[in-house]
Amino acid sequence: MKLIKLNAIASTSSFLKELAQDSPLENYTVVTTNEQTNGRGQQSNSWFSQSHKNLTVSVFIKDFDLTINQQKYLNFAISLAVFEVLLEEEIPKPTIKWPNDIMSANSKICGILIENSIKNQKIYATIVGIGLNINQTEFPDYLKNVTSLKKIKGIDFNIDTLLLKLIEKVKGKIQLLASKKYDVLENEYLKVLYKKNIPTMFKDSSDVLFMGIISGISASGNLLVELEDETIKEFGIKEISLA
């Protein structure tokens, strides 16, 4: 792996994207920074990270042979890699909140942004941005239900050590992807899916509240929710949220 360590940058994913446009990158080129001033999350959300406290990293990955309609398996692979790092660090009650927020109990501890490069209906490369809260213990008031490894365990963690562990986990899951072990990835993901099989209050894009039970993930990667009339409805990422 090629590791690029920066003191400060607006966004590791944006930096890596520009780098990929200028020259061919080797597989698992990694960019990490002590301070990210304009981190990006899902749905154009920003990602707040205190300087020198957390892991903000982006990884360029290629050579896994995936079609567009199989992209959910890439999401499964990356989410599971982070999940397993937390499991090994004995973080309590880790789960994956669809599509790829990583939780400890009911608090978010990690966000993931996956940006794919597509040609001829195939994903030929991806840039995976990961923001993992490690040693930060205070968060802005507008960030609700967030936590960190230190906040949970009460000790400082070595960020570089966790980075290397994370990249190894990512490589292992991408190997499953390259070997087309899609069922393995999906089964592992569904086992640890946040709120799966638990009656939950949701809110749709019109702010209408309704009860439902998460039953799985559709072929296109959307969330499957069983409604009160026992029908199962499919929701995209902008169509549903937890109330």
Q: Write out the DSSP string of the chain.
A: -EEEEEEEES-HHHHHHHHHHHS---TTEEEEEEEESSEE-GGG-EE---TTTSEEEEEEEEEEEEEGGGHHHHHHHHHHHHHHHHHHTT-SSEEEETTTEEEETTEEEEEEEEEEEEETTEEEEEEEEEEE--S-----TTS-SB--HHHHHSS---HHHHHHHHHHHHHHHHHHHHTT-HHHHHHHHHHTBTTBTSEEEEEETT--EEEEEEEEE-TTSPEEEEETTS-EEEE-TTTEEE-
What pLDDT, on a 0 to 100 scale, did the predictor assign at position 47? 57
- pLDDT for the residue 41: 57
Provide the 10 A C-beta neighbour count for residue 238. 9
Q: Please choose, from the candidates 98, 92, 128, 123, the residue with its C-alpha nearest in 3D space to the C-alpha of residue 113.
A: 128
Taking only the tens place, the pLDDT of each residue in 172-216 is: 999 999 999 999 999 999 999 999 999 999 999 999 999 999 999
* Per-residue confidence (pLDDT) for residue 37, from 0 to 100: 81
| Stretches in the chain below the pLDDT threshold 50 | 44
pTM: 0.94
pLDDT value of position 48:
66
